[in-house]
Copies of this chain bind each other. A is one copy, B any other.
Amino acid sequence: MTTPSPAPARPALLRVLAGETLKRPPVWFMRQAGRSLPEYRALRAKAPDFISFCLDPAMAAEATLQPMRRFPFDAAIVFADILLIPRALGQDVWFETGEGPKLGPLPDIGRLADNVEASVERLSPVGETLSRVRAALEPERALIGFAGGPWTVATYMIEGGSSDRSRARTFAYEHADRLDALIEVLVEATTRYLVMQAGAGAQALKLFESWAEGLSEDLFERLVARPHAEIVRRLRLARVTAPVIGFPRGAGGLVETYAGTVDVQAVALDVQAPAALGRRIQAGKAIQGALDPLLLRAGGAALDRRVDQLLEQWGQAPYIFNLGHGVLPDTPIAHIEQTLARVVRD
């Protein structure tokens, strides 16, 4: 055909983040890139270690794009890791296969603070990844940048790896001033990292607070809600207009307070989120979530029923279809296809 094509539509994800309700919600999955895909496993095998992989823009861009070729996702999310920040701030971080992340001793907070400016330079490969992905991605599909929430990152920095966070929570009680100083360093480093990502092509930004669970209301306010609000405030001061998705995973009843006090444009909900709670949040902003990754892996008619239920309970207001946590590595690809066929049936 020789007629000029119309201007590309604004990505559905961005429309919902601006408050629109779409006839069918945009969809993407946390960890849509990664170990559930055979092409990812083949690519990953070419890098000596996980951090080198994340910081190689060619490989990270390819990993970001792999699920976009296979599935009709409405958004890509840059392939990276929340622990790139502590590494860029000067703490040792490495990954042991099958054991998850390991971190060296927590450096002096003053020394971490001195490294904030340099940390953004060390994270510049993530910017290069974003530029490459944005250039390769169709204009109607959005590109998401992200960082870990300061508290979640701090738990890894304090505990030296994955944990039940009891040492970090005890630290919050026994060394309140030191923890508050660490959170402030992370708020500033995270803001600068996200400013860089927005400049490199990220059209939306997500804060993954993976370990918001189990915090009392006063700790949640101090360690999660206030730092998130501060990051958003500093992003806007830096003239970053990209919408922000906040994900206080496990915040339970506190997610509503979060939605009401933190100026994010969407709240990502975890598996547990009640339908009514989601609808109350939708009165003010978009929500995202919250299919159980275990159900995605299990498949079957129960999966279809739950997908339909989520579309029905939240689809009448600004809604982004997603999981309540990341895709599990042993999830059959056929179940991802089954789910997407049900969401994207226009």
Chain B residues near A166 (CB-CB < 8 A): 294
Nearest-CB distance from A214 to chain B (Å)?
6
Check if A272 sits within 8 Å of B216, measured CB to CB: yes
Contact pick for A217, options B215, B253, B272, B300, CB 8 Å: B272
Assess whether A295 is interfacial by the CB under 8 Å rule: yes
Nearest-CB distance from A173 to chain B (Å)?
4
Q: How far is it, in angstroms, between the C-alpha of A332 and the C-alpha of B213 when the chains are bound? A: 25
Considering only residues 232-276 of chain A, those with a C-beta below 8 Å from chain B are: 250-257, 271-276
Q: How far is it, in angstroms, between the C-alpha of A217 and the C-alpha of B279 when the chains are bound? A: 14
Max count, chain B CB within 10 A of own CB: residue among A166, A220, A253, A255: A253
Nearest B residue to A212 via CB reads: B272
Chain B residues near A253 (CB-CB < 8 A): 252-253, 255-256, 272-274, 277
Chain B residues near A274 (CB-CB < 8 A): 217, 253-254, 257
Chain B residues near A272 (CB-CB < 8 A): 213-217, 220, 251-254
Contact pick for A275, options B170, B217, B297, CB 8 Å: B217
Max count, chain B CB within 10 A of own CB: residue among A170, A252, A309: A252
A290-331 interface mask toward B, CB cutoff 8 Å, 1 = contact, 0 = none? 101011011010110010010000000000000010000000
Nearest-CB distance from A261 to chain B (Å)?
12
Check if A169 sits within 8 Å of B294, measured CB to CB: yes
Contact pick for A271, options B170, B216, B275, CB 8 Å: B216
Chain B residues near A297 (CB-CB < 8 A): 170
Chain B residues near A290 (CB-CB < 8 A): 216
Nearest B residue to A310 via CB reads: B216
Q: How far is it, in angstroms, between the C-alpha of A290 and the C-alpha of B217 when the chains are bound? A: 10
Chain B residues near A170 (CB-CB < 8 A): 294, 297-298
Check if B252 sits within 8 Å of A218, measured CB to CB: no
Assess whether A99 is interfacial by the CB under 8 Å rule: no
Nearest-CB distance from A144 to chain B (Å)?
24
Chain B residues near A256 (CB-CB < 8 A): 253
Assess whether A118 is interfacial by the CB under 8 Å rule: no
Q: How far is it, in angstroms, between the C-alpha of A257 and the C-alpha of B275 when the chains are bound? A: 11
Assess whether A174 is interfacial by the CB under 8 Å rule: yes
Assess whether A176 is interfacial by the CB under 8 Å rule: yes
- Chain A positions within 8 Å of B, measured between CB atoms, are 166, 169-170, 173-174, 176, 213-220, 250-257, 271-277, 290, 292, 294-295, 297-298, 300, 302-303, 306, 309, 324
Q: List 25 A-B contacts (CB under 8 A).
A: A166-B294, A169-B292, A170-B298, A173-B294, A173-B295, A173-B298, A173-B300, A174-B300, A213-B213, A213-B250, A214-B272, A215-B271, A215-B272, A216-B271, A216-B272, A216-B295, A216-B306, A218-B309, A220-B272, A252-B253, A253-B255, A253-B256, A253-B273, A253-B274, A254-B272
